[in-house]
Structure 1
Amino acid sequence: MESKMNRNIILIALLALLSVGKAAAQSVTVEAKIDSLQILIGEQAKVQLQVAMDAKQRAIFPTYTDTLVRGVEIIETVKPDTQFLNDRQRMLITQEYIITSFDSALYYLPPMPVTVDDKVYKSKALALKVYSMPVDTLHPDQFFGQKPVMKAPFAWEDWYGLLACSFLALPLLGLLIYLIIRIRDNKPIIRKIKVEPKLPPHQAAMKEIERIKAEKVWQKGQPKEYYTELTDTIRTYIKDRFGFNALEMTSSEIINQLLEMNDKEAISDLKLLFQTADLVKFAKHNPQMNENDANLINAIDFINETKQPEEENQKTQPTEITVIEKRSLRVKAMLICGIALLSAALIGTFIYIGLQLYNLFV
């Protein structure tokens, strides 16, 4: 009795193991479908391979290169899509292949193998019929030749970049030409204007006489240069002080004009100065040292005796504008670098414009 019970228990265990193995074997299903059984040459079809299995299992799909079978090409292998079922106990993985063919025939698509936990499962086989384009050879007049090349419609968007570069190139080119002219003429890019108050006539004359005294030209054997500078200073003073152009008048004309405006004592010393100067300049007279000093003193006395009296509320003298055009080596180097950069920018701009024109018209 006891041995019989043991045999029944063993039999029941074996049956349970067989049922579990059978259930496990049936837990994986592989199915292949095609969305169109018939296509024209060059058209596309979609092959769908689905695998249903437990969530803990691992599947390996077949790997194809360029063709599914000879004559059927794979255009694209879509990324697999995974769906979980039965509270994430099961999952359904879908793999799609987009195929086409360029030869008319009936193609046999063999079963597609899928490896699940080192065991190979296969789908059912598929078929694909590829038809060629029907051609009516009995009516050749219905065939049309090549279409002529159509011109693209005009669009302003195609010209925006070209126009922008053209408008940019014009001021750059103008600036480059300006800089080249400035560096060629050795002139700065921007002139610095220095505004200085204009000195009264007697102060300007005394400043010039002090310079002549400091240089002592007469001691260097140059009496002509000395008297020329001294008389030019007096002539300029007379022009600014009395208002007539003494620079264009002879010595006698200046004296006569002054006699009509001032006392004779102030003019007498000036007359002696002009006479000595004329002798030195035109008769090669060589005056003595004390004579040169005396004439310098005569010029100073004339200025002091005829200068305009300074008033407390005297109006401000007009200003002198001096243009400074000196350029340092550093500025010159920066100018050359700017010219080089502008030249490179212009060359690049012109190359871009040329390429754009070539693409638009060729």
Structure 2
Amino acid sequence: MKKILTTIFLIATAVTVLAQVNVEARLDSTEILIGSQAHLQISVTAPKGSTVNFPYYSANQQMAGGLEVVTADREKEEQGNNLEKTVNTYTITAWEARKYDVPAMKVRVNGKEYPTKSIPLTVQSTKVDTTARATPFPPSDVMDNSFSWAEIIPLILLLLLVLGLCIAAVYLRGILRRNKPITIFSKTEKKILPHEKAMQEIEKINRTTGNDQKAYYTSLTNILRQYLEDRFGIMAMEMTSSEIIDRLRAEDSREKLNELREVFQTADLVKFAKHSTLRNEEELYLTNVVQFIQETKLEAQPEAQQSAPQLTAEEQQSRRTRLLLKSGIALLVSSAIGILIYIGISVYDLIV
């Protein structure tokens, strides 16, 4: 009898817990235009402290045929009765006018899967009004080509203005020729090596990011990407993590590539899925990046580069004066050319 009562109690407890878990999915709009955005909200109501795992989609990833995930955000709120509500919002869009089915999602709550229902979404193209008709106008009368002095005098005045602009430009040109140009001598500076530049930036990470994990991993991966560009000549800043690993596969050992892959994957989770890591994990990934840089650094010193020395106040003033004179001459000449073009068009309209 005691075993029967215990079994009944356990079954009732499990049913009560399951009844407290509620998973819902809804769209804020079932019809959008091409390129517009809809918001898919998946809400989970469960006991406080429950582990809730939503499907993960990175930015610009395809959710289903033609549906693209723009962003994904999560928020929580208390519901009372020891319950809390977790909402994951996926911003989605599509670039083809047709009907779609937002797929059913599987949400894990405390290790158990709860499926949602698929939701239809219609994407429409911009409608064009084909019923509007242009209003026809009667043919214009033939006009005489006669012109008056009232039309010619403004053109003559504009010609005089062009002459004045040309005289002013010649005058400024004379001043510019008397103002001798400044000769700037360059000096040689040592060019910093890629690994030295990367290590300098790594030393600044803890001072600039503090406890912000998203900023920390963003800075760490940006430093690594810039080092890969400077060291291996690949466009790492414009490539995805997987593309970088594939590009480096011929350059390095599989063990070091696996370490870099973990760094990039963890950084993507922190930046886009609000994932968090422990302090020792941050230090481990930082150590892996530093070790990779040290093992792949260039030993040879780069060629020195040239840089301009600082100008004196008098030289800077002379340089600004020459720049202003050149700008003034260019403005006067371009204005004169523009006025001449206008005069030519006006004369053509008077004659034709």
TM-score range, shorter chain: 0.3 to 0.5
TM-score by length of 1: 0.38
TM-score by length of 2: 0.38
- Which fold has the larger relative contact order, with Cα–Cα distance below 8 Å and residues 6 or more apart in sequence? 2
Pair member with larger Rg: 1
